[in-house]
Amino acid sequence: MSEKARPVGALVSAGSIGIGWAVVFARAGHPVRLHDVSAGALARAADAARGRLEMLAEEALLDEAPGAVAARITTSPDLAQAVAGAALVLEQVPEKPELKRAVFSELDRLAPADAVLASSSSSIPASVFAEGLAGRARCLVAHPGNPPFLIPVVEIVPAPFTAPEAAGRLRALMEQAGQTPVMLRREVRGFVYNRLQGAVLREAYCLLRDGVISVADLDRIVTHGLGLRYSLIGPFETSDLNYRGGLAEHAERMGANYAAMGAERGQNDPWTPDLVAKAVAERRALLPLERWEERVAWRDRELMALLRFRRARGL
């Protein structure tokens, strides 16, 4: 049977993430089975998924009728039935290590031997909940944004014992489903998405505490400034395009200033010459300096298109 025809057993239904994944994989053509220990959660799941599919259709983001996609989603109070024949099993139980450990032990017992078992955990690495399992080589984390059908990025986080083949299959399934998988090279607390979010949020709280800015104005700096640009280019590319000469020039001119801001918060992680050279080498492989002007013009055009869209929506 092709991977697409095989079910994706998304375990938790009433939770935002379980329903979100159900929408993602049903939209991509997979049969999806939702399981939950709560009968109420299961009973609400079909309507919840349907509501989200209807909204997607209203925004012209669905290629089929919402009913046709919703029909691929079924529910089961029986875990063994939910995971039968599945190519991929996604777990979304509450964020408690002992609960994840218990659920993964059941999954390893019940799921098909070739199924990939992935947790949506925001912070618990697979080495914490899958270490002792016979099938640990197929276990890893697939950390989504919320909701996954609107925030496509998904962090794939293998444990040291995860087989590269399992990570590769998960990545391929996510890509086929229209997600944007990103592979972490090793486990790290909070993974990358939440570390970045945490860095911004920690500084936001400090600035609020120190009476520098209001909550509303701080959020405005992100929605009308940093975030507007970050939806097109990330922090490395932003710095690369902000200075003629690229990232090397940016680090030369701004590195000491950023180091001083970090030191004010007790952080001592200067951008050393070796580190800057590594970042510059990766950027230059992506964008040779001869194409810098062209890329700056592209950024400006895309920002104009975004501003036109925001103006039309009254944002």
Ligand X SMILES: NC(=O)c1ccc[n+]([C@@H]2O[C@H](COP(=O)([O-])OP(=O)(O)OC[C@H]3O[C@@H](n4cnc5c(N)ncnc54)[C@H](O)[C@@H]3O)[C@@H](O)[C@H]2O)c1
For ligand X, which is the closer residue by CB, 162 or 239?
Answer: 162
Q: How far apart (Å, rounded) are the C-alpha atoms in residues 76 and 11?
A: 9
- Give the span between the Cα atoms of 212 and 204, in whole angstroms: 10
Is 120 a binding residue for ligand X by CB under 6 A? The answer is yes
CB atoms within 10 A of CB 54: 15
Site for ligand X in 162-201 (CB under 6 A): none
Report how far residue 211's alpha carbon sits from residue 205's, in angstroms, rounded to the nearest whole number. Answer: 10
Among positions 1-40, residues that touch ligand X (CB under 6 A) are 11-12, 14-18, 36-38
Q: CB 215 → ligand X: shortest distance, Å?
A: 20
Question: Helices 273-286 and 235-242: crossing angle, nearest 10°?
Answer: 90
Provide the minimum distance between the beta carbon of 129 and ligand X in the complex, in angstroms, as a whole number. Answer: 10
3-state helix, strand, coil in the chain (%, to 5): 55, 10, 35
**DSSP-derived 3-state class of residue 273:** helix
47 counts as binding ligand X under rule CB under 6 A:
no
Counting every residue, how long is the chain?
Answer: 315
Structure tokens at 167: 């990570």
Closest CA to 65 of 111, 17, 27: 27
Rounded to a whole number of angstroms, the minimum distance from the CB of residue 128 to ligand X is 12
- Closest to ligand X by CB, 36 vs 237, is 36
Task: Examine residue 53 and tell whether it contacts ligand X (CB under 6 A).
Answer: no
Give the residue with the Cβ less far from ligand X, 38 or 238.
Answer: 38
- Strands 139-144 and 116-119 come out as parallel
Please say which residue, 37 or 315, places its beta carbon nearer to ligand X: 37
Please select the residue that binds ligand X; options are 41, 83, 88, 126, rule is CB under 6 A. 41
User: 163-200 burial string, b = 16+ CB within 10 Å, else e?
Assistant: eeebbebbbebbeebebebbebeebeeebebbeeeeee
Nearest distance from C-beta of residue 14 to ligand X, angstroms: 4
Q: Give dist(CA 148, CA 191) in Å, integer.
A: 16
Residue 92 or residue 179: which is nearer to ligand X going by CB? 92
State which residue, 121 or 127, has the beta carbon closest to ligand X. Answer: 121
| Residue of this chain nearest to ligand X (CB atom) | 15
Strands (E) in the chain, as ranges, are 8-10, 32-34, 73-75, 88-91, 116-119, 139-144, 153-158, 180-183
Shortest distance (Å) from residue 212 CB to ligand X: 28
Which range touches ligand X (CB under 6 A), out of 47-55, 82-90, 117-125, 254-262?
117-125
Give whichever of 53 and 154 is closer to ligand X, judged by the CB atom.
Answer: 154
In 3-state terms, what secondary structure has residue 33? strand
Smallest separation, CB 309 to ligand X (Å): 25
Spell out, one character per residue from 71 to 110, where the chain touches ligand X: x when CB under 6 A holds, - when not.
Answer: ---------------------xxxx-------x-------
Q: Which is nearer to ligand X, 15 or 246 (CB)?
A: 15
Binding residues (CB under 6 A) for ligand X: these are: 11-12, 14-18, 36-38, 41, 92-95, 103, 120-122, 143-144, 146
